[in-house]
Amino acid sequence: MEKQFNKLLYSLCEKGRLKVLNKIERKGINYFNEFSRDFIPEIDRFINDFFSEKIKISPYSFMADMYKDLNEYCARDGKRIRPLLLLISYLGYKKGRKNLNEIIKLGAVIEMMHSFLLIQDDIIDRSVLRRGGKALHILCREKFSHLTGNKNIGSDTALILADVLFANSLEIIGNAEINLKVKNEFLKIFASTYEMTAWGQVLDVLHSLPKDINLKENISLRISSLKTAHYTIYYPMMMGYVLSGKGDKWEQKLIKDFSLPLGMAFQIKDDILGTFGKKENTGKPGDSDIIEGKMTLLITSALENLNESDRDKLIQLFSQSKKSKSSVKLIRAMIEKSGAFESTIREHNALIKRSVRMLEKLDISGDYKMILNNIIDSIKEINL
């Protein structure tokens, strides 16, 4: 019954029956959740099928064994927000659903590349858990440490397996049965996505546990823009747009003007949860960003607002590679004392409002605007 309802819903969506959808919306159904329930299984199915074939044709048993590990890692539960945004953009700008199966494959590539970056992130941040399981470098260390005296065998192996994921992604793109000109445009954005994200990661690494902080450089905003706003919202939407066959430069600018504020708000929300959130509500420790010494808007705002003595004290505490519970508590207190928490919330809300205004200007189908509006609502809500 639910599947029939979804088919009817999407049929109405393709015909632009906004009145019906608005009525459904008023009844409290989250249209993005409905979209996710239909397409996440399709994305995951392709990933599982792809790795099953790789396991089958692997010429050596160690390859097959490692492909099983990659399959398990990539298929772990996640929001799949980036491939979903690609699909939302594609369907919102494309008339009809021609080639949708091929586009789903490319959405799966974006999810595989997300796993590629998560493997790197976990090694850089010394994280031990990812999406409800052990980080890949931890799994590799446990699996292969008995074979060698190399104490870094886990990280070394995981980094190479990330390279395998990158190669797999290029293979899938190369085999995608889509217009060659469109594929070339997609590849340009694909390359820009991971180059820009890498530069954001470099900035993040260089400015974690900083010995000196230059507030004039706006490092926290630059990291958020390069590493999150472009990567999470803007580029996936641009990928979907070019895959739809469209190429209007003005619309591309509007997509950027919509996406970047939303992506920045997404990062600010994550920063707030990583500093003040409760693990039982957020799934992540509420002191993780402080312990790792991450330069966030909360920290830069606090430093701007505190007097010289308190500013020096905050820098001294924040720069410590090992922080006691009392140090973490004091850093939180200084952030609150400075008014940085309130100003960061205000900035988050202002970015959300800007994104809402820009959404109305997009030439995307009104039905898919509703889905995007649901995404905005989910980023707007901050539950500490």
Taking only the tens place, the pLDDT of each residue in 69-110 is 999 999 999 999 999 999 999 999 997 777 899 999 999 999
Asked if residue 17 has pLDDT above 60, the reply is no
* Percent of all residues in the chain with a pLDDT value above 70, rounded to a whole number: 91
* Percent of all residues in the chain with a pLDDT value above 90, rounded to a whole number: 70
Question: What is the per-residue pLDDT for 285?
Answer: 62
The lowest-confidence range among 31-45, 49-63, 206-220, 236-250 is 206-220
* C-alpha count within 13 angstroms, C-beta hemisphere, residue 131: 15
Give the residue from 34, 122, 36 showing the smallest Cα distance to 77.
36
Asked if residue 26 has pLDDT above 70, the reply is no
Give φ, ψ of 166 to 5 degrees: -60, -45
The Cα 211–Cα 63 span in angstroms is: 43
Compute the average pLDDT of residues 260-272.
94
Question: What is the per-residue pLDDT for 22?
Answer: 46
CA 211 to chain centre: 29
Question: What is the per-residue pLDDT for 287?
Answer: 75
Asked if residue 356 has pLDDT above 60, the reply is yes
Query: Where would I find the H helices in 75-147?
Result: 81-93, 100-125, 136-144
Give the residue from 209, 334, 339, 346 showing the smallest Cα distance to 268.
346
Asked if residue 24 has pLDDT above 80, the reply is no
Question: What is the per-residue pLDDT for 30?
Answer: 87
Residue 75 DSSP label: T
Compute the average pLDDT of residues 216-229.
86
Q: Which residue has the higher pLDDT, 129 or 357?
A: 357
Compute the average pLDDT of residues 107-133.
93
Burial 30-66, CB ≥16 within 10 A → b, else e: ebbebbbeebbebbbebbeebbeebbeeeeeeeeeeb
Asked if residue 28 has pLDDT above 80, the reply is no
The Cα 379–Cα 270 span in angstroms is: 9
Greatest distance between any 2 Cα atoms in the chain: 66
The Cα 223–Cα 264 span in angstroms is: 10
Q: Give the pLDDT band of residue 126 (cuts 50, 70, 90).
A: confident
Q: What is the model's pTM?
A: 0.88
Bridge partners (DSSP) of residue 133 are 130
128 CB-contact burial (10 Å; exposed 0-12 / middle 13-18 / buried 19+): exposed
Burial 343-370, CB ≥16 within 10 A → b, else e: bbeebbeebbebbbebbeebebbebbbb
pLDDT tens figures, 37-79: 999 999 999 999 999 999 999 999 999 999 999 999 999 999 9
The lowest-confidence range among 13-17, 256-260, 291-295 is 13-17
pLDDT, averaged across the chain: 89
Phi-psi region of 131 (alpha: psi -120 to 50; beta: other; left: phi over 0): left
pLDDT tens figures, 143-191: 999 999 999 999 999 999 999 999 999 999 999 999 999 999 999 999 9
Radius of gyration of the chain (CA): 22
Q: How many Å from the N-terminal Cα to the C-terminal Cα in the chain?
A: 37
Give φ, ψ of 72 to 5 degrees: -60, -40
Q: Which domains does the chain have, with CATH numbers?
A: 2-380 (1.10.600.10)
The Cα 33–Cα 37 span in angstroms is: 6
